Structure 1
Amino acid sequence: MPIAQILLFGFAITNEINNVDIAVLDHSKDATTKEIITKIADSKYFSIKQVIISEAEIKSIFEKGRVKAVLNFEKEFSSKLIKNKQATVQIITDATDPNTANTISNYVNAILQQYQKQLNKDASFVYQIVPETRMVYNSELKSVYMFVPGVMTIILMLVSAMMTSISISREKELGTMEILLVSPLKPFQVIIGKVFPYIFLSIINAVIIVLLSIFIFNMPVQGSLFLLALESILFIISALALGILISTIAATQQSAMMISLMGLMLPVILLSGFIFPISSMPLPLQLISNIIPAKWFIIIIKGIMLKGVGIEYLWKETFILFGMTLLFIAISIKKYKIRLE
């Protein structure tokens, strides 16, 4: 555990950004804009994911979650820079993660200023490239827009997993496991029976969290409350199934609690994208983050609450969560069968 902790903290905790996916909308398409785009693409901070051709695509590309920012170069950029000594670049960022959005804006500004210095080095006139920043979904950069979805995910994940992680291991410690072994119940019936009651307790937790976030922290819900409820139930079942999996592996309640608490808390906080951008982490940690259910639920909840998108934009994340849930239940049943033998 200490080795895992130092590696996670050392590589995952960073306020820097690297390889952030951005899109470019170049109305001008002249030599100057191409040179600026090349400089941005050549930096280690950004990766140009897509080149769009109209402002109508900006909303769609943000809703799909493909990019974190869009650079919008105005028409006749080069000629305005020469004629008026000033041209404008609009930096549009996805501010559902306000820290990342602010960092992206600062990094782009730094690259533009560096290019401007080179441009004015031997010039008789001072050319000025003016960056205009626009934050979408969170124009005031409220940190609560980032923390509420993350905290909701952590609470549902840890509490749900901890509740079920001790269920089967408790039977072993109390000596009542033999009753289940000789009963006519099949393994999948025992597993479902252990999960089912905790679903209602976890739903109560989810309802309380959502009500507090709306009425206390003024968190908006732009999308469907019904879809939010369904996605929350899916995530809850996924967390409960993971807890049951831990319970079938752990020999005692104490070991089950340690695995569910210490083994899940760090990955959920560090590798879910809740606080630290996943794109800035080393590739192995980026790959590991894909098996963290919390990562996909945070994308879903931000999409529904802040962006107001529907299932047509969140089907991939929903499918992944559903697949993980089935996998956890299937492995739990298999592990339980081994103990029956």
Structure 2
Amino acid sequence: MKQFLIFVKKEWLHIWRDRRTLFILIWMPVIQIVLYGFALTNEVKNSNIAILDQSKDEATTVISNEIASSRYFHLVKNLNSYQDIGATFRTGKIRMAVVFPANFRDDLLHGNSAQIQLIADASDPNTANMLTNYANAIINDYPQSINQNQDLPYTIKTQVRMLYNPELKGAYNFVPGVMALVLMLVCTMMTSIAIVKEKEMGTMEVLLVSPLKPFHIIIAKTVPYLLVSVLNITSILLLSVYALDVPIVGSVWLLMSESMLFTITSLSVGILISNFAQTQQTAMFTSMMSLFLPTLLFSGFMFPIENMPIPMQIISNIVPSKWFFIIVKNVMIKGLGFSSVWKETVILIGMTTTLLGISIHKFKIRLT
């Protein structure tokens, strides 16, 4: 029994001395419950909306205030004309627009019926459905508050219009998310493993004594995976169009160019991981753990980012797949041009440059 307790004590001390094991056992569950608790929710909150009030009467003011004060919506803009709606949606700043027609209050009081138009961005069909349902519930509360035993009660009819995806197909949101996930994981993991494999097999020494500079070695290791990624991108787009009926509304060349840029960014992440990993197992584990969950949680693919607390929204900005997801939706689903995605493109270029710079600087020209 005494020997058994000695072994238990030995294992206990080993856990407390090994910081990596201690981190996994104690802090990993804490981090995961915080991430899942705040990020994993089907409820949509703080969604940006715009309002076009062509009546500007007491009734529209009350309804607008009720919508804007709801925790589900955040009013970011009051529109001046119907033509402003499309331009505002193209900026990507709003998810829904509420349109009040002229003479809204007169139609409601004298005709006992009035209409409101709800225009939603259906490139994410689930979110669009939720937002229109939330808005409908708020709008329907107003006639109930003023009916007061009317023989012919007041009613407000909502006309719902779904932009970009009128049939509400889930593939319109699924395809861009899968593209970001697949390219990020495959490119990063394969690149990191390929370089670490050279270290394990001892062939890295041959590369280091060659006349090639570290920059050329890194580029040479990534070019084959860049070519493989082109095949992956092409196959995903072909399957999307011909198997899932998701059209490429925008420029195919712009979409391919942006996909290539994101692929290079992902390869840069893999190179950075390979600089610190000593084994293929470590490289694969680091790639999966550090990229799979962030891509799912912080790209906006599965869970709206605006639902998350401010610190997590800030963290999402360093996840490359978030910006690529926005680019693919804007170009492929919404049919927008480079003017709508140039900011995201500049961010990905900045990330790529930074990651490559760090990787080249940290690249070990000596194994010992």
Q: Please report the TM-score for the alignment, with normalisation by the length of structure 2.
A: 0.89
Aligned partners of 2:181, 2:228: CA distance in 1, in Å? Answer: 16
Alignment of 1:31-46 (within 5 A): 31-46=58-73
Which of 256, 263, 284 lines up with 1:236 in the alignment? 263
Residue 117 of structure 2 is aligned to residue 71 of structure 1: no
Which of 242, 251, 261 lines up with 1:215 in the alignment? 242
Aligned partners of 1:338, 1:139: CA distance in 2, in Å? Answer: 56
Query: Which residue is 2:146 aligned to?
Result: 119
Which of 350, 354, 357 lines up with 1:323 in the alignment? 350
Aligned partners of 1:115, 1:85: CA distance in 2, in Å? Answer: 13
The verdict on how the C-alpha distance between 1:84 and 1:152 changes in structure 2, with shifts beyond 3 A counting, is same
Whether the aligned pair in 1 keeps the contact of 2:188 and 2:266 (CA below 8 Å) is: yes
Alignment of 1:54-93 (within 5 A): 54-93=81-120
Structure 1 counterpart of 2:115, one-letter code: T
The verdict on how the C-alpha distance between 1:188 and 1:74 changes in structure 2, with shifts beyond 3 A counting, is same
1:340 positional shift = 7.1
Higher normalized contact order (CA 8 Å, seq sep 6+, divided by chain length): 1
2:341 counterpart SS class: helix
Aligned partners of 2:265, 2:366: CA distance in 1, in Å? Answer: 23
2:363 counterpart SS class: helix
Residue 170 of structure 2 is aligned to residue 137 of structure 1: no
Unpaired runs of 5+ in structure 2?
1-27
Unpaired runs of 5+ in structure 1?
none
Which of 292, 295, 300 lines up with 1:265 in the alignment? 292
Whether the aligned pair in 1 keeps the contact of 2:46 and 2:306 (CA below 8 Å) is: yes
Query: Which residue is 2:311 aligned to?
Result: 284
* Farther-moved stretch of structure 1 (73-82 vs 3-12): 3-12
1:166 counterpart SS class: helix
Alignment of 1:284-323 (within 5 A): 284-323=311-350
1:187 positional shift = 2.2
Alignment of 1:115-264 (within 5 A): 115-121=142-148, 125-264=152-291
Whether the aligned pair in 1 keeps the contact of 2:208 and 2:365 (CA below 8 Å) is: no
Once the two structures are superposed, residues 42-99 of structure 1 have per-residue CA deviations (whole angstroms, 9 ceiling, x without a partner) of 1111111111111111111111111000000011111111111111110000000000
1:8 positional shift = 2.1
Once the two structures are superposed, residues 283-328 of structure 1 have per-residue CA deviations (whole angstroms, 9 ceiling, x without a partner) of 1111111111111111111111111110011111111111111111
The verdict on how the C-alpha distance between 1:259 and 1:121 changes in structure 2, with shifts beyond 3 A counting, is farther
Aligned partners of 1:71, 1:307: CA distance in 2, in Å? Answer: 20
Structure 1 counterpart of 2:298, one-letter code: L
Structure 2 counterpart of 1:326, one-letter code: T
1:152 positional shift = 1.6
Which of 12, 18, 22 lines up with 2:49 in the alignment? 22
Query: Which residue is 2:362 aligned to?
Result: 335
1:177 positional shift = 2.6
What number of residue pairs does the alignment pair up? Answer: 341
Task: Report the identity percentage.
Answer: 51
Aligned partners of 1:312, 1:120: CA distance in 2, in Å? Answer: 49
Aligned partners of 2:30, 2:288: CA distance in 1, in Å? Answer: 17
Whether the aligned pair in 1 keeps the contact of 2:177 and 2:325 (CA below 8 Å) is: yes
Aligned partners of 1:115, 1:339: CA distance in 2, in Å? Answer: 73
The verdict on how the C-alpha distance between 1:193 and 1:80 changes in structure 2, with shifts beyond 3 A counting, is same
Residue 105 of structure 2 is aligned to residue 105 of structure 1: no
Query: Which residue is 2:22 aligned to?
Result: none
1:275 positional shift = 1.3
Whether the aligned pair in 2 keeps the contact of 1:167 and 1:244 (CA below 8 Å) is: no
* Farther-moved stretch of structure 1 (173-182 vs 95-104): 173-182
Query: Which residue is 1:12 aligned to?
Result: 39
Whether the aligned pair in 2 keeps the contact of 1:17 and 1:280 (CA below 8 Å) is: yes
Structure 2 counterpart of 1:51, one-letter code: N
2:52 counterpart SS class: strand
Whether the aligned pair in 1 keeps the contact of 2:205 and 2:367 (CA below 8 Å) is: no
The verdict on how the C-alpha distance between 1:180 and 1:25 changes in structure 2, with shifts beyond 3 A counting, is same
Q: Which structure's CA Rg is the greater one?
A: 2
